[in-house]
Structures are given as C-alpha cells and as structure tokens.
Amino acid sequence: MKKIGVIDGQGGGIGSIIIKKVKDVFEENVEIYALGTNAIATSQMLRAHANRGASGENAIVQTVDKLDIILGPIGIIVANAMMGEVTPKIAEAVAGSPAQKFLIPLTRENITLVGVCSTPLPQMVDSLIEDYLLPMQQ
C-alpha cells in the first residue's frame, strides 16, 4: 500500500481538498498521512479522512523519508513560506526526501512560476490524480 503524505499549513484547506479527492479515487487502497505545519491544518486534513496525522516541524521532518509520495502546495519546499510556518528544516527535509513529490503551483510568496497556467485548485487536483497518481497504480 502506498504511503502518501499531504503537507499543508495555515488552515489546511489545500491539503483537505487533495485528501478528499485522493480518497474518493483510491478509497482505502492508499494510506494518507496528514502533515500539518500546525495543529489546525492537521485537524482539517484529518476531517477530510486522512488515515494518520501529525503536526509541526519534527513530525514532518521525521515522516517525509518514510513516504512514497508527497503532495502539497509548492511552498512546502520554500524556507519560511506560509507566513513562516515552513521552516528551513521542513523545506530541506521535504525537498531532500526520496519520495516522489507532486506540488501544486499555488503560492502566496513572492514567487512567480513562469509558464504555469492559472487553473482553479479543484482542476489542478483532478489533473494530479488523473495524470500522475492513477498511472502510477497501473
């Protein structure tokens, strides 16, 4: 069974949307870890039916190397992103993890991803599942 980590911060809204859609498609054939930069984000992702949840820097740093796939906004690999919730240790651990990473190009940071179309979040998550996650299962 694939272990999928979903990392989010602040309110956990992006992570919750990702988890709901992944659960709808894969049901209980994957194990989803909700890794929040704070307890509120983790709580929201657990409400979206993640299998396990943990909060904070140490939990994220210790877990990312045990995952097969990491999902989340691009800010999870940017030090001090999400109003400082993504610490340099979190960004380094996520970027350095051997897990396959699929990052949603949403950022509130002073970063512009050139060549990326402005697409609504639900459509990006659908594309993530259809174009990347489903083919990995075959």
Q: What are 36-82's pLDDT values in tens digits?
A: 999 999 999 999 999 999 999 999 999 999 999 999 999 999 999 99
CB atoms within 10 A of CB 134: 12
Average pLDDT, the chain: 94
Burial per residue of 87-118, b for 16 or more beta-carbon CB atoms within 10 angstroms, e otherwise: beebbebbeebebebbbbeebeeeeeeeeeee
Res. 113 pLDDT band, cuts 50 70 90: confident
Map residue 14 onto helix, strand or coil: helix
- pLDDT score of 116: 87
Structure tokens that stand for 51 in this block? 């299998």
- pLDDT score of 135: 92
Strand partners for 5: 33, 70
Residues in CB range of 6: below 8 A, 6 or more apart: 15, 18, 19, 22, 32, 33, 34, 35, 45, 50, 70, 71, 72
| All structural domains of the chain with their residue ranges | 2-137
Res. 109 pLDDT band, cuts 50 70 90: confident
pLDDT at residue 118 tops 90:
no
With CA atoms as reference, report the closest residue to 100 among 62, 67, 57. Answer: 67
CATH topology for 2-137?
A: Rossmann fold (3.40.50)
- pLDDT score of 40: 97
pLDDT at residue 138 tops 90:
no
Res. 13 pLDDT band, cuts 50 70 90: very high
| Predicted TM-score of the model (pTM) | 0.94
